[in-house]
Amino acid sequence: MPDRSQNWTRVAVLLALAGAVTPGFAQQTPGLASIIGVVKDQSGAVIPQAAIVVRSLDPTRSYSAVTDSSGAFRLTDLPRGRYTVSVAMHGFHTSEKIVDLTANSKLEINTTLAVADFGGDRVEAIDKPIPVQTIASPAPVLKQQKSWLRKLWCW
């Protein structure tokens, strides 16, 4: 039967291994940056499912996220550099900002999107019947075709 010191050693090794493979959800990788924020509309209501795209001025790097049900988003492990941050949602104007990320920085970008004005004509429903136009029936043309076919068939 193993003694207690061996059991404690085993427990310590297992905890160390578990800590090594468990991701740190609230942490970012040292030397890299993160961007967090909340997206709202002009009335202050949060906008879920808004698209966040972070593009490096080097076009090979692009990162994206979608806001959750509380309008929040988080992008982590971004290399330092200059980025364009775009926030978009159908029915709203897109917001764009240029930001500089430094090593170990945590940038908070809270964005308010304005409702898009599509500039279309206003449509009003009215409670009046729509007049129906009658069109002359093409029946005589069909009769002529039938009689022509009948002559051909009976010939």
29-113 has which fold? Immunoglobulin-like (2.60.40)
Q: How far is CA 121 from CA 19, 90, 116, 118, in A?
A: 61, 19, 14, 9
**Nearest-angstrom CA–CA distance, 41 and 47:** 7
Give the residue extent of every domain in the chain. Answer: 29-113
Mean pLDDT calculated for residue range 44-57: 94
124-139 per-position pLDDT tens digit: 555 656 566 555 555 5
Check residue 60 and give its pLDDT: 75
Mean pLDDT calculated for residue range 10-17: 45
pLDDT at 118 over 60: yes
- Cβ(55)–Cβ(61) under 8 Å? yes
**Nearest-angstrom CA–CA distance, 103 and 80:** 6
Mean pLDDT calculated for residue range 64-87: 95
pLDDT at 49 over 60: yes
- Cβ(50)–Cβ(66) under 8 Å? yes
The DSSP output letter for 49 is T
In one-letter notation, the amino acid at residue 31 is G
**Nearest-angstrom CA–CA distance, 112 and 35:** 16
Mean pLDDT calculated for residue range 6-23: 45
Q: Which of 103, 84, 91 is nearest to 34 (CA)?
A: 103
- Cβ(37)–Cβ(73) under 8 Å? yes
Check residue 31 and give its pLDDT: 82
Residues 13-23 as b or e (16 or more Cβ within 10 Å = b): eeeeeeeeeee
